[in-house]
Structures are given as C-alpha cells and as structure tokens.
Structure 1
Amino acid sequence: MDYLLQGMFNDKSLSKVVGFFARQADADIAVRRLLRLPGMEPGQVRLLGPQHADLRNRDLLSRALEPETEGVFTTFVRTHAIAGLVGSVLGLMAFGYLVATRQPAVLDKPLLAFIAIVGFGTTFGLMLGALNALRPDRIWVVNRVRSALRKRQWVVVAHPVDSHQAKLAQDLLDSSEAQVVRTL
C-alpha cells in the first residue's frame, strides 16, 4: 500500500508524525531517539522552536513540514489521472453490470446511459483525486504546529518513509511527554 501511495503522490514521505514539547531539552532527546530508528535519516527529522514562529507561512511549510515541495504540479496531475481512471473503470463496471442484469432504462438508451454512468464515475474520481491531492490532514497539522510555536513550544517533525517507520516514530513520541499528532 505504501508503494502505491508513494507512486501516486511522488513523495518519499507521505506521513508526518509531530510531537509538541514544552522544553527544548525534551525535544532534543526525541530528535536523537528518532534518528536511531531503523532507516531514519537526518533529513527526515526536523526540530522547530519558538524562533520559527515568526517565519512566513510559506517558509515554515517548505523548510520543515513539506521538504519535498518539488513536483507539486506533477502530484496534482498524477492523483487526478489515477483517481479519474479508477472512477472511469468503476463506471464501466457499473454500466456492464446494468447491461448484464438487463435493466430496461439502460437497454432503452445504452449510449446515454453509458455517457451518464461513466461520466459520473470519472467526475467523482477526479473530485476524490483533487481532495486527495490537497491533503486536508496536512493543513490541520500545519495549523497545530503554527499555534504551538506561537505558544513558545518546541516541535519535532518526523517524515517517515513507510507505515512501519511512521508507527515506530509515533510510538517513540507517544512514550515521551509529547502531545503527538499524525497525518494520513
């Protein structure tokens, strides 16, 4: 599943695991412990402090929370193409089922039924692709990070590359005195 999602989004790290700390010393310890996790590399862990609260929103996003900002357009195109294709295939399957079960409305006007069913399937697929590309879960995390920094807290952001590494990072941060949030 991780491979499929990474291919769809063109990102190495799909998930963000974020811990909020009251003290810098606790955040530093968490960073060192995260870097000892299997496969975790220095570029995957970021430490943000109160001094980052004054950064412009774009800088905060690009530096710490979204290290893979290249290819955003490619991600939008890819997610739309895949989701639209899945919607089309599901629409074709629904049309095939309705023809096979000899539904009178479909048999009376097959071209119109085909256009409507496959068209709606494709449209809903594209809409889900757009929602998926916008990643509303990340917007919520970014707002939480911004709020914590304004409250003079320390934030540790981990960018795990797969679901196993995300689980390890979340367990590690949960075992500390941090409040933890996670995307995806």
Structure 2
Amino acid sequence: MDYLLQGIFSDKSLAKVVGFFTRQADADIAVRRLLRLPGMASDQVRLLGPEQARLRARDLLTQTLEPQPQGFVTTLVRTHAIAGCAGAVLGLLAFGFLIATHEPAVLNSPLLAFIAIVGFGTTFGLMLGALAALRPDRIWVISQVRSALRRHQWVVVAHATDSHQTVLAQDLLESSEAQVVRTL
C-alpha cells in the first residue's frame, strides 16, 4: 500500500510525525533516537527552534516541512489523472450496469445518459484528486508547528517513508513525553 501511495503522490515521505518539546535538550535527544530507527536517514529528521517562528510560511514549508516541494506540481497532475480516470471507469461501469438491467431512462436516450453518468464520475474523481493532492491533514500539522514555534517550543519533524516507520517514530516521540501530531 505504501508503494501505491508513493506512486500516486510522488513523494518519498508519505507521513509526518511531529513532536513538540519545551526544552531543546529533550528535542535533541529525540532527534538522536529517531536517527537510530531502522531505515531513518538524516534528511528525514528535522529540528526546528523558536528562531524559525519568524520565517515566512513559504520558507518554513520549503526548508523544513516539505522535503520535496518541487514535486507538488507532479503530485497535482498525477492525482488528478489517476482519480479522474478511476471516476470515469466507475461511471462506465455504472452506465454498463444500467444498460444491462434495461433501465428505461438510459435506454431511451443512451448518449445523454452516457455523457451524464461518465461525466459526473469523472468530475467527482477529479475533485477527489484535488483533495488528495492538497492534503488538508498536512495543512493542519503545519499550522500546529507554526503555533508551537511562536510559543517558543522546539519541534522535531520526522518524515516517515512507510507506515512501519511512521508507527515507530510516533511511538518514540510519545515515549519521550512530547505532544505528538501526525499526518494521515
């Protein structure tokens, strides 16, 4: 499943696990412990301090919270294409089902029914693709990080590459008594 999602989103990092610390020493310990997790590379863990609260939202996003910001356009196109095609296929299946069950409304004007059913399927697929590309869960996490930095807290961000690494990072940060949030 992780490989499928990485293919759709074109990101190496699918989830972010974030821990909020009141002391820098605790945050440093958490970073060292995270780097010892299986498969965790140094570019997957970031430590943010209160001095980064003054960064513009765009700078904070590109420097620390999104390791591959250049892939957003690729992700946008890819998610729209995949979800739009899936919606069209579901529309075709629904149209085929209605034809097979001899639905009178579809049999009386099959071209209009085809356009409507497949068109709506494609439209809803494209809307889901946009929602998936924008990742509202990440926006919430980013706002939490900005708020914590403004409160002079230290933030540890782990960019997990798979679900196993996500669980390990979350468990580690929770065991260090940090407040933890994560993306889906």
- Superposition TM-score tier, normalisation by shorter sequence: over 0.9
Q: Distance in 1 between matches of 2:13 and 2:43?
A: 11
Q: TM-score, normalised by structure 2?
A: 0.98
The match for 1:97 is: 97
The match for 1:26 is: 26
The match for 1:11 is: 11
Q: Distance in 1 between matches of 2:94 and 2:161?
A: 36
Query: How much does 1:48 deviate?
Result: 0.2
Q: Distance in 2 between matches of 1:182 and 1:123?
A: 30
Deviations along 1:75-107, one digit per CA (max 9) or x if unpaired, are: 111010000000000001111111111111111
Query: How much does 1:138 deviate?
Result: 0.5
The match for 1:67 is: 67
Matched, 1:46 2:46: yes
Q: Distance in 1 between matches of 2:101 and 2:138?
A: 43
Q: Distance in 2 between matches of 1:170 and 1:101?
A: 50
One-letter code aligned to 1:156: V
One-letter code aligned to 2:161: V
**Which blocks of at least 5 consecutive residues in structure 1 are unaligned?**
none
Structure-to-structure mapping, 1:12-161, within 5 angstroms: 12-161=12-161
**Which blocks of at least 5 consecutive residues in structure 2 are unaligned?**
none
Q: Distance in 2 between matches of 1:138 and 1:45?
A: 16
Query: SS state of the match for residue 37, structure 2?
Result: coil
Q: TM-score, normalised by structure 1?
A: 0.98
Q: Which runs of 4+ in 1 moved over 3 A?
A: none
Q: Distance in 1 between matches of 2:7 and 2:78?
A: 9
| Identical residues among aligned pairs (%) | 78
Q: Distance in 2 between matches of 1:177 and 1:72?
A: 33
Deviations along 1:135-183, one digit per CA (max 9) or x if unpaired, are: 1111100100000000000000000100110011011111111000000
Q: Distance in 2 between matches of 1:139 and 1:165?
A: 21
Q: Distance in 2 between matches of 1:147 and 1:136?
A: 17
Q: Distance in 1 between matches of 2:24 and 2:71?
A: 34
